Each structure stands twice: as structure tokens, then as C-alpha cells.
């Protein structure tokens, strides 16, 4: 009883949250005998003292908190201290470790690329190296989980870790002592000139460093002659509100409304552009899909409603609930929904949901596919009550949850066959690609010094495709017929070429290859060239 009382006092005590929000000053704990609070205390006390078997009180309290939150909206959640750390790390913009991009080849960690100027690159670790031991503990051939390996490689800045490495062409094992450091986690996935005068930037999430990375990307592309921009927010699940506001600010004029929030117990709060944006002229096209959510919907909605640019793709996810983090004494956290996000025209970004029905909410994308929304624009119908107008050109846009694009691009469900999906699910494609690059890295780098040359002329060798098909057969994964195989091969070859480009260069080159076949990107190029 004391534990649960302590938690509730800390959550609602005005003194504990004085600097967090004056809102908490209105709360008073009701200790009357018939209050819900007292009822909860009695239940916890009865279970912990009288139940037939021993119980874990900590878990009991956590389950009670989760039970309460489960009856609310789909985005109010409870996280343990470890979950809080894991959730925050990608958004904080860095972690402390050795600085390598890696993948697992069978049961061995293989370096894809060392982080530029990172601690591993500084001591001479190169792409293709296999890390087989960490501080005299073998990590290869011992069925160690990826999480356990990462735990051993990461550590506080300034600490040392001894790595044993096998390198192709070198007979003996190599040993390196790496001094761990802060390693940046990039949220801008790709930056490149997709056509003369047209830049392309893809943002994977909105973290603490995203705005700074975005500005760097803008300047890089400007120096390469960019006049117009394609901003790719496909599969961007969101992140920090501030990062989204700062990026939208780069496109808008002084005073332009970016987004506002409002809730039952929270007053309307507005975010406006400051007028010193770095890209206030030039065409903008934003790319979105059904996994574009939250902070990325804020950017998209602001650009669309302020008639600053056009949106291409499919209706976004529709995550427009604002969570307030409530830190608990043991490092755990409640993220409680307190308000809604609204676009400048007044559209609520949040799609409809039923409280406590998380399963239906989670099945939304499947339901969109079944209804035909993802494959046929004629399947999409909006009530007149959902019509809104953009603020300058008074174009019709629609509410009802998510951002509906100005130019709809249907999902091609035939390009990614069942056979390809099963090969990918068993990691056959990625493993075969890793082996191919590892075996041929030196020759590939020598032959393809220029990415432009690679992109135009490289063809995936038939031997690599044959290896994938043969491995699939070993694992009882085969095409249903010759027609399915023929449908699979073009996209499989494209995927392999993009992966090889990533392994030889970086993610910008990966997307540069892939985007040439993307219908959404093709439509964006058409729109921006009008």
C-alpha cells in the first residue's frame, strides 16, 4: 500500500511537478473511504498480504498502471526504466560506443561501415572486418544474441574495449583497443541531388539533432545547385515536437501557424514560424505513406495548409495525440495523452479510435488495404463535414485523421511477391548480399570508384540471384510457378543493387538506387517539374 500511495503522491503532488506544469497544482488527493483512490489501495493491500501465493508487488503495481492506461487511448503508455532508456536513445541523437554500422553474417558480427571519424575508424577498423571477440570473450560462433553483443560493445565515453578481428586476406587475428566515444545517430537517412536543380532529403525520425542535420543537408544541396526540394517522410514514425516545428519553420513565412494543440485540461497552445527560414522559396513536395506519423504529420500538414508545397503519396497514419511524459521515482515513465494536434486549417490529425480497443486500432493498415484505400483512389470517400480549406489558395483538404495527399499514388501490391517476402523474412537476401560484398569488396571498390558509374552500369550478377534461389529451395521457399519467379526477379535485383550500393557507400546511395523505381518518387518528380 505504501508503494502505490508513494507513486500516486509523486504523480499528483504539486511540489514534485511545480517546474513541469502549473496544471498539477489543481489536483488534490481524495482519501475519503469511498474514493477510487482508497479502493485501489485496499485492493493492492489485500492482494499483497492475503493472496494464496507470493506476488511481485512491483509487477502488481506496473500491471495496475498498464491496466488503467489500456482503457484509454492507444498512445497512453507505461514504460519500465529500461524501456525508457531504449525509447529515448534513438531520439537523443547519440549513444556511447565504438562507432560501427554492422550486420550479423550467420553468427558473426561483420562491420558494414565504420562511422566517419568515429573511434573504430581512428584505430584502423575497416568495412568487412569481423569482430570475433570483445575483451577476451568470444562473440562469434557462440549463439550470442545481437542485444548481448551490443551491450558488450557499448559503454561510457572514455572507457576502453579490446576487440579481436578477423580480416579477409590477413592470416592472423588482429587486435584493436578502441576508446568508446559519443556516436551520433543520424535521423536524416539520405541527402542527394535526384535531378539537376532538384534535391532530395529523407528524414527517418524527428530527434534532438534532426533540425541541425536537416540544415546541413539543405546547405549541401544548395551548394550543388538545388532550387527545389523533395522531402521524403515515408515511414517516418515521428519523434520530438520541437524538431518538427523547427523543420517546418525553415519553409514558412513569419507568423505562419505551424500547429496547435488543445485538450480538455490544457489550453490551446500555438506554434508559429519565426520568419528566418532557410528554404522559403523554391518548390517543395512532401512524400508520405501510411506509416508517416505524428511529428512528420505536423510538418506535412503545415506545408500543405499554408500552401507552401504539395503532398504526394497515400494518407498518413493519423497519430495526433499529444503525450505528456510523467517520470516516476524508479526511472519508469507514464506517457499520458493530454491534448490533440491540429493543423493550421483546424484539422485534427488523430484518426478515430475506440477507447480500450487497441487491437482494432493496430489493424488499421490492414483494414485500409481490405477497403481498397491503398490501391484505388476511387475507394476513398470523404463526408462534406470533413472538408477544410488551405489558408492561402483555399484548396480543399480533408480531415478525419491523417493527412490526405494532394496527389494520390496507389500501392503496387504485385511488385513484392510472396516468394520475395519469404526469402526476405528468412534473411536469405541480406545474408547472400553480405557474403557477396564481403567476398568481392576489393574488386568492387576498384571497379566502381564512381557511384554515378555504378548506378548507371552495374548489373547484379546472375550467380548471386542463383545463390538466393538455391538457398531458398534448401529452406523450402520456392516460387509457386515460373510466373511468380519472373515477377520476383526485377525487384529482387533492384534490392540487391541498392544493398550493394549501401555497403560500398552509404544510405544516400541506397535510396538513390531504390528511388528510381518508386512510383511515389516518380510522381513527385513529375509534380515538381510542372
Active site residues: 294, 305, 319
Bridge partners (DSSP) listed for residue 269 = 261
Q: How far apart are CA 195 and CA 525, in angstroms?
A: 8
Q: Is 454 strand, coil or helix?
A: helix
Q: How far apart are CA 334 and CA 324, in angstroms?
A: 8
Backbone φ and ψ of 485, nearest 5°: -60, -45
Q: How far apart are CA 457 and CA 76, in angstroms?
A: 50
Half-sphere exposure of 16 (CA within 13 A, CB side): 13
Q: How far apart are CA 5 and CA 486, in angstroms?
A: 64
C-alpha cell, 341: 494536434
**Who's near 109: CB < 8 A, 6+ residues apart?**
102, 103, 130, 131, 132, 139, 140, 149
Residue 387 near residue 436, CB atoms below 8 Å: no
Ramachandran sector of residue 331 (left: φ over 0; alpha: ψ -120 to 50; beta: rest)? left
Of the candidates 42, 50, 58, 45, which has an alpha carbon nearest to the alpha carbon of residue 7? 58
Q: How far apart are CA 519 and CA 447, in angstroms?
A: 31
Backbone φ and ψ of 421, nearest 5°: -60, -45
Amino acid at each position: 500500500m505504501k508503494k502505490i500511495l508513494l507513486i500516486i503522491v509523486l504523480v499528483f503532488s504539486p511540489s514534485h511537478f511545480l517546474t513541469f506544469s502549473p496544471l498539477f497544482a489543481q489536483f488534490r488527493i481524495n482519501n475519503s473511504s469511498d474514493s477510487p483512490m482508497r479502493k485501489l489501495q485496499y485492493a493492492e493491500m489485500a492482494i499483497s498480504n492475503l493472496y494464496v501465493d507470493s506476488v511481485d508487488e512491483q509487477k502488481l503495481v506496473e500491471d495496475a498502471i498498464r491496466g488503467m492506461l489500456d482503457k484509454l487511448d492507444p498512445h497512453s503508455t507505461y514504460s519500465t526504466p529500461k524501456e525508457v532508456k531504449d525509447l529515448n536513445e534513438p531520439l537523443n541523437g547519440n549513444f556511447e560506443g565504438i562507432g560501427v554500422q554492422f550486420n550479423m553474417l550467420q553468427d558473426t558480427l561483420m562491420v558494414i561501415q565504420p562511422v566517419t571519424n568515429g573511434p573504430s575508424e581512428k584505430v584502423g577498423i575497416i568495412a568487412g572486418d569481423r569482430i570475433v571477440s570483445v575483451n577476451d570473450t568470444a562473440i562469434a560462433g557462440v549463439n550470442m544474441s545481437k542485444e548481448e553483443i551490443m551491450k558488450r560493445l557499448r559503454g561510457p565515453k572514455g572507457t576502453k574495449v579490446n576487440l579481436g578481428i578477423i580480416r579477409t586476406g590477413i592470416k592472423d587475428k588482429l587486435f584493436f583497443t578502441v576508446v568508446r566515444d559519443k556516436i551520433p545517430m543520424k535521423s536524416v537517412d539520405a541527402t542527394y541531388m535526384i535531378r539537376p536543380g532538384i534535391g532530395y532529403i529523407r528524414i527517418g525520425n524527428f530527434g534532438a539533432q534532426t533540425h541541425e542535420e536537416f540544415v546541413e543537408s539543405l546547405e549541401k544541396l544548395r551548394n550543388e545547385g538545388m532550387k527545389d526540394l523533395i522531402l521524403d517522410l515515408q515511414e517516418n514514425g515521428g519523434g520530438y515536437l520541437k524538431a518538427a516545428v523547427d523543420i517546418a519553420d525553415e519553409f514558412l513565412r513569419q507568423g505562419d501557424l505551424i500547429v496547435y494543440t488543445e485538450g480538455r485540461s490544457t489550453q490551446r497552445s500555438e506554434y508559429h514560424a519565426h520568419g528566418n527560414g532557410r528554404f522559403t522559396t523554391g518548390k517543395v513536395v512532401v512524400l508520405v505513406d501510411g506509416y508517416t506519423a505524428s511529428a512528420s504529420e505536423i510538418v506535412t500538414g503545415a506545408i500543405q495548409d499554408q500552401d507552401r508545397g504539395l503532398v504526394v503519396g497515400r494518407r498518413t497514419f493519423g497519430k495526433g495525440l499529444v503525450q505528456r511524459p510523467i517520470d516516476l521515482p524508479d526511472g519508469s515513465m507514464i506517457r499520458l495523452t493530454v491534448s490533440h494536434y491540429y493543423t493550421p486549417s483546424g484539422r485534427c490529425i488523430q484518426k478515430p479510435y475506440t477507447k480500450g480497443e487497441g487491437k482494432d486500432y493496430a489493424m488499421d493498415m490492414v483494414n485500409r488495404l481490405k477497403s481498397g484505400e491503398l490501391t484505388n483512389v476511387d475507394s476513398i470517400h470523404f463526408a462534406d463535414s470533413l472538408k477544410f480549406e488551405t489558408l492561402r489558395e483555399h484548396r480543399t483538404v480533408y480531415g478525419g485523421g491523417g493527412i490526405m495527399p494532394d496527389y494520390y499514388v496507389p500501392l503496387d501490391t504485385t511488385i513484392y511477391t510472396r516468394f520475395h517476402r519469404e526469402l526476405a523474412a528468412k534473411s536469405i537476401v541480406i545474408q547472400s548480399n553480405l557474403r557477396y560484398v564481403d567476398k568481392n569488396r576489393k574488386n568492387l571498390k576498384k571497379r566502381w570508384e564512381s557511384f554515378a558509374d555504378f548506378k548507371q552500369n552495374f548489373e547484379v550478377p546472375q550467380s548471386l540471384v542463383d545463390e538466393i534461389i538455391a538457398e531458398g529451395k534448401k529452406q523450402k521457399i520456392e516460387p509457386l510457378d515460373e510466373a511468380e519467379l519472373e515477377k520476383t526477379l526485377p525487384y529482387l535485383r533492384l534490392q540487391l543493387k541498392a544493398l550493394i550500393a549501401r555497403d560500398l557507400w552509404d544510405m544516400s546511395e541506397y535510396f538513390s538506387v531504390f528511388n528510381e523505381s518508386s512510383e511515389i518518387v516518380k510522381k513527385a518528380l513529375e509534380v515538381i517539374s510542372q
